[in-house]
Structure 1
């Protein structure tokens, strides 16, 4: 198997492998472990709690740290300051870009507005109905009573003539089976 090395990764025809001996990779692991949570919290405040934008900013900050890893001062206080400064500048650039972008306006004519249809809701119902078929009758009845009829575990136990613990365990097992079935259906 032919392999090519580069930037801390060893590439083969099958997949890249992490090279822990590369100082860049070691630094990035340290930065991520020691600074990611604090950096995320700081940036989250700067982005007005926009979690997606915050994730993007933190990721871009770490990419820039990786690109400049040879030049970075390895002292923790200096690294933290560098990361926060870079992240702040990325956020400022983002705010500037947003302010330059044309404002979005509402449609004035309802004739051109998109009408909602029930396609998504119908499709979701079909997927859930298909997943429910993976359950046996005793699990289906527990799911129906608690989720579809909106009853508590106690009420479902009385209606089904079962102990509450049995209803809870069947419900747990049914939900686990449904999650697995929905995951399989979603991957098709």
Structure 2
């Protein structure tokens, strides 16, 4: 089987798995405009099919990458004069839609992917301090490292996390 055939099978499986979720997400970003939402999702998959080398699995999951592509397509679309009809009609870039359950789920997925991309010592300190509520002093003692080392890991870990989130299209 050729590389292209394998690529097409993988893309087909990805489409079947992700398209419904991406359509819901895009519909939310377009204030319920199903036509624009479907076009954005189709454009995202068209880009994935035409440029498979753009996706870098070391930077996150294909799902997270497609979410970012759909969001960027809709932001770019909202900035073009032919689409911007009125202030109330499409203000995606200026007034993002309020977070709802789908947005929270997608943000959590992107955050999980970004955290997974961090070095283990950085990820451990961030997760234990921010999500586990462990004081940094206690974590340093538990890990057997000086407090300054724990602080350094937290600082550099947060900096790397911010960059990873920005790569995935989340504003920090």
The reply to whether TM is greater than 0.5 is: no
Task: Flag the structure with higher strand content.
Answer: 1
Q: Higher relative CO (CA 8 A, sep ≥ 6), structure 1 or 2? A: 2
Question: Rg bigger for which structure?
Answer: 1
